[in-house]
Structure 1
């Protein structure tokens, strides 16, 4: 975890202070993914790559009878998240911890082995071994639970010049859209006995995907 953590800490040491303000206009679909969580009273929700805690706070407010956990490889981002969670008065319902998305053990981190809902929001496009992270997320979905993913899509329904400009700009921040996210999720989910579905969002700007485990 040390190399990945050091890289993310260098990247976000200063960006974390303006991250949410600067990302609100182009990380499209995050709130839709939260709405689709449909967390029930007593459920426990895990966000992988929780960053500043923005999604955890919104989800905790949307589902006041659920509990929330978040993990991120960057200690710098978690410092921001913990401060935001305290300011929101949600420290009693949201716990965060530092961990690698590809190889975490949730039990020592959060005292449980599986979660009713798991969410990954615009993190897979920043994780080089993203399939490993996706596989690990599926492994911690509880019976009757679901994994929800939102990330950059293939922009198939948008003008070519827009896609080219967006991809070049994202590359400057070490962000790589995963054009085969749907296929990878379907294969990994099927191998684990989960069903999966993927939806293009805003003409392919974003991808919204869900994998469900039977009860």
Structure 2
């Protein structure tokens, strides 16, 4: 299967899934997409910096990022046109259209210069998106390649759940399967390996007894 066909099929799946869900997405996901606001609070972009969110969905995180860091320019990409339509309306209502820029693209092979007129970003955020993208390692690799020389990649997603009761893990994973979500249990190993390849240093920490994982990869100073 060609990359273009795979991207088209993925976009179609996401559009079908979220055509109706997008209207209640933020209200429902706040109860179980945990750790997003902590990631945003710890982002610490440089003055007048740039922030990209990969898999920006409804734009919820982008709006919070723009408000938290008012001297930054924020960018978001998503493969789903339906989600981007919702994000565009939310950004317009927030009055942040001059600072938040959206584009439709494949997270594994996007061209930042063509989409946004930038060669790289000071901070890249991926929030609960890797667990929905089959070639998720390719997303991490592309994000690392798109950082500025001193930039950092910040990821939060479902963790290995090792510290949670077995009955809860069973119910959680059944629920996630309904939405084509697969926790990436080997995320710590994958980001460590990919970071070494791309000249970055990584660290990970488990949140809420393994319910979620927070990973950061930072470019090494030259």
Shift of 1:36: 1.5
Give a deviation string over 1:116-153, Cα, whole Å, max 9, x none. 00000000000011111111111101111100000000
Runs of 4+ aligned residues of structure 1 deviating over 2 Å after TM superposition are none
Equivalence map 1:151-170=2 (5 Å): 151-170=157-176
Give the equivalent residue in structure 1 for 2:3.
Answer: none
Aligned partner of residue 212 in structure 1, secondary structure? strand
Give the equivalent residue in structure 1 for 2:93.
Answer: 87
Shift of 1:3: 0.9
For 1:9 and 1:172, how far apart are their aligned partners in 2? 15
Give the equivalent residue in structure 2 for 1:211.
Answer: 217
TM-score normalised by structure 2 residue count? 0.96
For 1:110 and 1:186, how far apart are their aligned partners in 2? 28
**Does the CA contact (< 8 Å) of 1:56 and 1:68 recur in 2?**
yes
For 1:38 and 1:170, how far apart are their aligned partners in 2? 31
For 1:85 and 1:39, how far apart are their aligned partners in 2? 21
Equivalence map 1:51-90=2 (5 Å): 51-90=57-96
Unaligned runs of 5+ in 2: 1-6
Equivalence map 1:96-135=2 (5 Å): 96-135=102-141
Shift of 1:214: 2.2
For 1:186 and 1:165, how far apart are their aligned partners in 2? 30
Aligned partner of residue 210 in structure 2, secondary structure? coil
TM-score normalised by structure 1 residue count? 0.99
For 2:177 and 2:11, how far apart are their aligned partners in 1? 19
Give a deviation string over 1:11-44, Cα, whole Å, max 9, x none. 0000000000010010000001111111122101
Give the equivalent residue in structure 1 for 2:4.
Answer: none
How many equivalent residue pairs?
215
Are positions 1:38 and 2:44 aligned together? yes
Give a deviation string over 1:82-111, Cα, whole Å, max 9, x none. 000010000000000000001111111000
Give a deviation string over 1:38-58, Cα, whole Å, max 9, x none. 112210100000000000000
For 1:130 and 1:144, how far apart are their aligned partners in 2? 23
Equivalence map 1:14-53=2 (5 Å): 14-53=20-59
